[in-house]
Amino acid sequence: MHYSRVGHFLSASRITGPKHNILQLELSADAGGIPAIERLGPSDTSSLSEEAVVSAVMEGVAAANHRFARNWTISRMRYAPADSAPEAVYAHLAYSILATWEAGGYGNSPTGISSAQDE
């Protein structure tokens, strides 16, 4: 897994042989519902269900919030529709992004949202 920051987005990419996935999340201090979705790359070759990707991301965020006693919300997310299935991997990516954030793995806050390192 590779973690990086792209502007205000916290990013994780996973490449395992022929399978590949990328997820980028922008954290928000505001309580929110479904995040705004941005598609990376061509969407005409989509192999993923966007609804299932969003659902998996929200599951991963909920699991991280429970594990770390936080209330993170996502204002925007980016993914590549042509990435590899299954969509459930996005729950793991979302959780991993937030676990890395909590551990201070992305450095300073991109949006004023605190992690354990900031406290």
Please list the residues that pair with 15 across neighbouring strands.
20
Q: Within 10 Å of residue 42's Cβ, how many Cβ atoms?
A: 10
Q: Give the pLDDT confidence score for residue 109 in this predicted structure.
A: 55
Q: Give me 24's structure tokens.
A: 């980028």
Q: What residues in the chain have per-residue pLDDT under 70?
A: 43, 108-119
Q: Give the pLDDT confidence score for residue 117 in this predicted structure.
A: 47
Q: Give the pLDDT confidence score for residue 114 in this predicted structure.
A: 52
Q: Give the pLDDT confidence score for residue 115 in this predicted structure.
A: 52
Q: Within 10 Å of residue 31's Cβ, how many Cβ atoms?
A: 7
